[in-house]
Structure 1
Amino acid sequence: MALSTRAATAAATSTPSTSDTTSATPGGHGRLTVAQGAALSVGAVLGTGVITLPALAAEVAGPASLVAWAALVLLSIPLAATFAALGARFPDTGGVSTYVRRAFGDRAAGAVGWCFYFAVPVGAPPASMMAGSYVADVVGGGRATTLTVAAVLILGTGAMNAAGLRLSGRVQLALATTLALLMVVTISVSLPRGDRAHLTPFAPEGWGAVGTAAAVLVWGFAGWEAVAPLSGEYRNPRRDVPRAAGIAVTVVGVLYLGLAATSVLVLGPATGTSKAPLSDLLAVAVGDGARVVTAVAAVMLTLGAMNAYFAGGSRLGAALARDGALPAVLAKGSAAGEVPRRSLGLLTLGAGLSLLVTGVLDLGLTPLMLLATGCFTLVYVMGTGAALRLLPRLSLGWWTAATAFVATLGLLVVTGVHTLWALGIVGASLVHQARRRAPGTSGAR
């Protein structure tokens, strides 16, 4: 799961009942440099999904999954450029929520908040199970160990946040940096042992499977929307935001494609059945002792990502409830410095129930991941759709947004029936907001 909670947290700072007073000024008042902004953007996109995504994509599409990886990297270019253009033109911490409100109104902005909020309970179980797979790879126990570690991570993360404990932004960035370094080391020591023969047959599941693999991989690319909320922190947003986004896209693309290609070339058909691909790659190169190191790294990275999502998501839920976009009972703890325990409890309970269903039905990681990525993709559709209304028509930025809009619509389609979760969330949000505003209701203003 990418560390893109900055976007969720930013959405909470620009909530549906608040009028948008952001001015489209080109100047910034922050001290963020291009290098710092690029590092933060890379950290927002690189997430724990990368420790398992190469195997999941290969399981779905075989070596042809590399096409899906390349497609997502290419999509990242117009997507990041679109949010960079919006951030440069409208520097504001509200991010996607601000743009959707400007373009489509408060109800649409509320729906974006719901998509972020309800992606957390379905996204936490697969993220925690990824770490559990690495622990099981070292200590044994198979699925039982995986589910136990996942449950401990979910409950532990909820308890940490309920107690008001949070990992600092520096720690989060350090964890993302650790992940990037781990990817670099893995590629460097493993790729020389690759075999081109592992590329055949290239598409054993047919070319249609590439689309499904791409839908799964959205998990690892969620986070480009985090570029926008940072825009006001740059010294010169119009100049610096596009530069930082360009650097981030390049770094992320090289790391993701490098790791995916290394996995397929070195592990071959075993890529799709691997429960701990990074451990398997390092074991091939330096021995089984590397498995312990990668297991510890996987748990720490997952804890950091889940802490970020639970912290940002719970605050987003409380802020949305405070302003009427969610039931008012969740609003307690929405003030600065307070702990939104009710919102946090709902997220933790939802994540626990999702994990329970996964264990009882013996589901893999893919179904819940597709539910979460459906939410992320719909947010991207709404964000790029807003850009089409806000950016100068037929300008370069407008055409870039149009490209991203069409591409994300395509991703929404290939997500298939799992998209119904995201669409249902949007529908429920609109119904709730309509009831709140209806004459004679207690929540109407």
Structure 2
Amino acid sequence: MKNGLSVSQGAALMVGAVLGTGVISLPALATRTAGPASLVAWAALVALSVPLAVTFAALGARHPDGGGIATYARLAFGDRASTAVGWAFYLTIPVGAPAAAGFAAAYVADATGGGPRTALGVTVAVIALCAVLNWYDLRLSGTVQLAVAGVIALLLAVAVAVALPHVQLTYLAPFAPHGWAAVGSAAALLVWAFAGWEVLGSLAAEYRDPQRDIPRATAVAVGVVGVLYLGVAFATVAVLGPRPGPAPLSDLLVRGFGEAARPVTAVVALLLTIGAINVYFAGGSRMGAALARDGAMPVWLARGSGSGEVPRRSLVVIVTIALGVTAALALLDLPTDAVLPLATGTFALLYVAGTAAALRLLPRGTAAWWCAAVSLAAALALLAATGAHVLAPLGLALAGVVWTVLRRPAPPAAREPAPAAPEPALTAPAAGPASRSRAGSTT
């Protein structure tokens, strides 16, 4: 795509995807679950996000295509695996969007003194805004995301900096008041805060130079996310104590600037939410179009599947489902976070599928391949911890396979995504489908 995403825009999109709504409330939840030992859970997940991010960056650089993780599954395991992964991811995005928007909506309602109607209006407005941003060229969305990510990073850094003079080291003892097993429980809660690396693949084809720019953008995003998460987590434990309130960011700002700073948290919550949903709408709409192009979804959705095109039909489906889920939750008087277990189960399933595909697609023995091996082990442990929550995305995956079987006896052959320019040190000279097939079989 000529004049596509730059490194800074790509890094901003990744930061927005990962540094989402989890940072608003999860530091307090983790602290109440494991006490100061929750910092171990934060540090472990930051460390594990490095090989995971490297894995998806390597896949995106070598196989840039809007199908993202569904394309990797197809290249590694075949069409049915791709369909299963694609349906689970594509249909979870609009279901999870109201939950993400609901976090910000609750902050805004609290700051303005509004009630459920205010929260519902903010939820709908956030979804609509992200839909508008993605209706146009991704460069517009990327530029907006760059500004949003910059403001988010600044506000979070300020919140930590003004709170640090109020650190009380006595809050760090006892370090594990609920036992070391609680660290695992805290880590399970924090998975939501580290989801987002999997959507990177669906945007890979939109970079100016995927093989060069994706690793650079990923490195920037990993550094920014790690520093901000660890800073907020430490300040929550060492400044707010063992029983922080439900809005730790707000409390940290108040420690530094007084009560007048509390409404600023609503701004942070809105920006974090817009950043996360914006990226998932961008990646999800491209995945839906790519799946339709490959015969795994209705062909009507395939328009806009090419690099640099805008998959508006796929976007409309995502937004329509998201608004429908929001309306259903409101009518049933259910909180928007009632759908969070579905999203958590989907992330666990996607990470297993993506890292397993990476072991077959990446050159064996390279640094990226070893990162994939470490990530697969961690993803399997996460999948086990997810438990019954994985049943919902498995049901969506099965529905996709059944649809493709019943749709027609012989679906059209999938179009092979164009690989990135080969790296002399990592890729073989051959670039044809037969060569790729032989390379995949040797791994």
TM-score with structure 1 length normalisation?
Answer: 0.78
Comparing 203-212 with 191-200, greater Cα deviation is found at 203-212
Which whole-Å deviations, capped at 9, do the CAs of 1:250-275 have from their partners, x for residues lacking one? 2221111111111121112342x41x
Given that residues 215 and 370 in structure 1 are in contact (C-alpha distance below 8 angstroms), is that contact kept between their aligned partners in structure 2? no
The corresponding residue for 1:368 is 339
Q: Does 1:237 find its partner at 2:211?
A: yes
Q: Does 1:116 find its partner at 2:66?
A: no
Please give the residue correspondences for 1:304-315 in structure 2 after superposition, counting only pairs within 5 Å: 304-310=275-281, 312-314=283-285
The corresponding residue for 1:351 is 325
The corresponding residue for 1:169 is 142
Identity of aligned residues (%): 55
Given that residues 86 and 387 in structure 1 are in contact (C-alpha distance below 8 angstroms), is that contact kept between their aligned partners in structure 2? yes
Which whole-Å deviations, capped at 9, do the CAs of 1:27-82 have from their partners, x for residues lacking one? xx988776665455434432233222222333443333222211211111111122
Give the counterpart of 1:425 among 396, 402, 406. Answer: 396
2:349 partner amino acid = L
Q: Secondary structure at the match of 1:269?
A: coil
Q: Secondary structure at the match of 2:259?
A: coil
The corresponding residue for 1:191 is 164
Please give the residue correspondences for 1:317-396 in structure 2 after superposition, counting only pairs within 5 Å: 317=288, 320-321=291-292, 323-327=294-298, 339-340=312-313, 343-344=317-318, 346-353=320-327, 355-356=329-330, 360-361=333-334, 365=337, 368-396=339-367
Q: Secondary structure at the match of 2:374?
A: helix
Which whole-Å deviations, capped at 9, do the CAs of 1:116-156 have from their partners, x for residues lacking one? 222223322221221122223322356665455335544x4
The corresponding residue for 1:181 is 154
CA displacement at 1:210 relative to structure 2: 2.9
The corresponding residue for 2:103 is 130
Given that residues 111 and 425 in structure 1 are in contact (C-alpha distance below 8 angstroms), is that contact kept between their aligned partners in structure 2? yes
1:325 partner amino acid = A
Find the aligned partners of 1:300 and 1:76 in 2 and give their Cα distance. Answer: 22
Q: Does 1:259 find its partner at 2:232?
A: yes
Give the counterpart of 2:386 among 412, 415, 437. Answer: 415
Find the aligned partners of 1:69 and 1:114 in 2 and give their Cα distance. Answer: 30
Q: 1:417 to 1:60 in 2, by over 3 A?
A: farther
Find the aligned partners of 1:339 and 1:92 in 2 and give their Cα distance. Answer: 17
Give the counterpart of 1:291 among 257, 262, 265. Answer: 262
Given that residues 67 and 287 in structure 2 are in contact (C-alpha distance below 8 angstroms), is that contact kept between their aligned partners in structure 1? no
Give the counterpart of 2:113 among 124, 140, 146. Answer: 140
Q: Does 1:49 find its partner at 2:5?
A: no
Find the aligned partners of 2:137 and 2:77 in 1 and give their Cα distance. Answer: 36
Q: Secondary structure at the match of 1:289?
A: helix
Q: Size of the alignment, in residue pairs?
A: 408
Q: Secondary structure at the match of 1:393?
A: coil
Find the aligned partners of 2:38 and 2:111 in 1 and give their Cα distance. Answer: 27
Please give the residue correspondences for 1:270-281 in structure 2 after superposition, counting only pairs within 5 Å: 270-271=243-244, 273-274=245-246, 276-281=247-252
Find the aligned partners of 1:307 and 1:256 in 2 and give their Cα distance. Answer: 20
Q: Which runs of 5+ in 1 are unaligned?
A: 1-12, 14-28
Q: Does 1:220 find its partner at 2:220?
A: no
Q: 1:73 to 1:334 in 2, by over 3 A?
A: closer
Which whole-Å deviations, capped at 9, do the CAs of 1:366-425 have from their partners, x for residues lacking one? x53332132122112111101111223344332221110010111111122212122222
Which whole-Å deviations, capped at 9, do the CAs of 1:289-316 have from their partners, x for residues lacking one? 1122221332244234334434553554
Comparing 112-121 with 55-64, greater Cα deviation is found at 55-64
Find the aligned partners of 2:221 and 2:412 in 1 and give their Cα distance. Answer: 44
Q: Which runs of 5+ in 2 are unaligned?
A: 414-443
Comparing 121-130 with 310-319, greater Cα deviation is found at 310-319
